[in-house]
Amino acid sequence: MRLSRYFLPVLKEDPKEAQIVSHRLMLRAGMIKQQTAGIYSWLPLGYRVLRRIEQIVHEEQERAGHVPLLMPTLQPADLWRESGRYDDYGEEMLRITDRHKRDLLYGPTNEEMITDIFRSHVNSYKDLPLTLYHIQWKFRDEIRPRFGVMRGREFLMKDGYNFDLTKEDALHAYNRHLVSYLRTYERMGLQAIPMRADGGPIGGDYTHEFLVLAETGESEVFYDSQITDLTFGDRQIDYDDHAQCQAVLEEFTSRYARTDETHDEAIFADVPEDRRRTARGIEVGQIFYFGTKYSEPMGATVVGPDGARVPVHMGSHGIGVSRLLGAIIEANHDDKGIIWPEGVTPFHAGIVNLKQGDETTDGACESIYGEMRAAGLEPLYDDRNDRAGAKFASMDLIGLPWRITVGPRGLAKNIVELTNRRSGDSIELSPQDAVARLV
């Protein structure tokens, strides 16, 4: 992408409405625009990152054997009357009436709708196990939308639903989700710690929230510091292997880690004092097993091996796709701007032309740009007629992991500069070697 033809409305001044760094940087880097409280347009740069996060979520869901579909944002109220949640859900639900006076709602979650799809088409235990998921916009009329996309009213969520014959199978689905989430967040450069949590309006006793530690997090968390030493890495997992998934769950949940809702001082006191931590965290996902809570009232049953109809065991599993942008920036920034982890960066590298209009420099930038694209990388070429200082400041603000700086003085020695955004380290090398380093 050439910056002269892109749409990157960066702001020079700090926007007053932003209280936390990720919100401020997303506005300053021209990633989002608020349209009304808690509702945002995703400008091109923000949209690119959102799509990369979605892509990672899709890849890891499909790797775990989960099946994508797409349900609508608007739902008929009648489905929610069947489960009993229409009245219970309260003011967070946006209720809408159409021209025929039929009650609709903008979905805050999809347990009812997916259960309806399941009961319409699945009849036999032979079609199980089944996990369906989608990535779709949700609406929750949050009492205090704030912190930009972290607590929006309209937000993008991946929500998945497992259908199983037995509790044991459904708990395997729970474990499978835990494993796939560990991989998913790590690919985004995040440490998200599974913590014992509370079921809330979704219901159920088995539930873990995934939290990213950050001072600006809205949840208070308590944990054994040993948990932060765990990484999932690139281990090979057979997602159908119950024992293997169970072992990962045990490894990642055996140490004390709880949110304030389930925190228990008496148990916490057993953790050696020097390892006891109290901190704040951002909830980036949650998994639930809730048994037959929806399948029973809504009649989602299958014929079992003995010929009798039984309600299926279910769980639901959410990832806060749009909130993740905020969480990633909270965990990856400095005083100059964002520092994207390689896994989610909107562009792989920036090319800064120090002397736009100079034939040699323009030519060298063009060939670096062309070679990177030919190698399958997506560079952002700052080809605007602007001061070097201003170009550097925008590149630092938008946080691409690498910058290639090209100017006439270096080119006279066949040299460009390759700079790492995170460390700030620069090395000088030939234009060809600079590209080769990034491939």
Residue 203 or 343 having the CB closest to ligand ATP? 203
Residue 110 touches which of Mg ion, ligand ATP, none (CB < 5 to 8 A by kind)?
Answer: none
Chosen residue from 54, 59, 142, 417 binding ligand ATP by CB under 6 A: 142
Distance between CA atoms of residues 3 and 5, nearest Å: 5
Residue 142 touches which of ligand ATP, Mg ion, none (CB < 5 to 8 A by kind)?
Answer: ligand ATP
Indicate whether 261 belongs to the interface with ligand ATP (CB under 6 A). Answer: no
Indicate whether 157 belongs to the interface with ligand ATP (CB under 6 A). Answer: yes
Closest CA to 237 of 252, 225, 226, 227: 252
Residue 322 touches which of Mg ion, ligand ATP, none (CB < 5 to 8 A by kind)?
Answer: ligand ATP
Q: Which helix (H) or strand (E) holds 57?
A: helix 44-63
Indicate whether 369 belongs to the interface with ligand ATP (CB under 6 A). Answer: no
* CB of 153 vs Mg ion, minimal distance in Å: 11
* CB of 157 vs ligand ATP, minimal distance in Å: 5
Residue 92 or 127 having the CB closest to Mg ion? 92
* CB of 97 vs ligand ATP, minimal distance in Å: 24
Chosen residue from 286, 316, 332, 353 binding Mg ion by CB under 5 A: 286
Indicate whether 323 belongs to the interface with ligand ATP (CB under 6 A). Answer: yes
Measured CA to CA in angstroms, residue 300 lies from 99, 119, 125, 207 at distances of 31, 5, 12, 22
Residue 30 touches which of ligand ATP, Mg ion, none (CB < 5 to 8 A by kind)?
Answer: none
Distance between CA atoms of residues 237 and 296, nearest Å: 33
Segment contacting ligand ATP by CB under 6 A, of 50-58, 169-177, 224-232, 317-325: 317-325
Tell me the residue type at 126.
K
Chosen residue from 23, 140, 172, 183 binding ligand ATP by CB under 6 A: 140
Closest CA to 372 of 388, 395, 350, 339: 350
* CB of 209 vs Mg ion, minimal distance in Å: 6
Residue with tokens 């489905």: 79
Q: How far is CA 222 from the centre of its chain?
A: 23
Residue 8 or 157 having the CB closest to ligand ATP? 157
Chosen residue from 8, 105, 284, 380 binding ligand ATP by CB under 6 A: 284
Q: Binding string to ligand ATP for residues 180 to 219, with x set by CB under 6 A, is what?
A: --------------------x-------------------
Measured CA to CA in angstroms, residue 355 lies from 8, 372, 373, 426 at distances of 21, 20, 22, 19
Residue 24 or 421 having the CB closest to ligand ATP? 24
* Bridging pattern class, strands 313-319 and 154-164: antiparallel
Burial of 404: CB neighbours in 10 Å, binned 0-12, 13-18, 19+: buried
Chosen residue from 22, 110, 286, 353 binding ligand ATP by CB under 6 A: 286
3-state secondary structure of 411: helix
Sequential DSSP letters for 211-270: EEE-TT-SEEEEEEGGGGG---TT----TT-HHHHHHHHHHHHSS-EEETTT--HHHHTT
Tell me the residue length of the chain. 439
Indicate whether 337 belongs to the interface with ligand ATP (CB under 6 A). Answer: no
* CB of 180 vs Mg ion, minimal distance in Å: 17
Q: Dihedral of the CA atoms 6, 11, 17, 23 (nearest 10)?
A: 60
Indicate whether 285 belongs to the interface with ligand ATP (CB under 6 A). Answer: yes
State the residues that interact with ligand ATP by CB under 6 A.
Answer: 109, 140, 142, 151-152, 155, 157, 200, 283-286, 318, 320, 322-323
Q: Which residues bind Mg ion (CB under 5 A)?
A: 283, 286
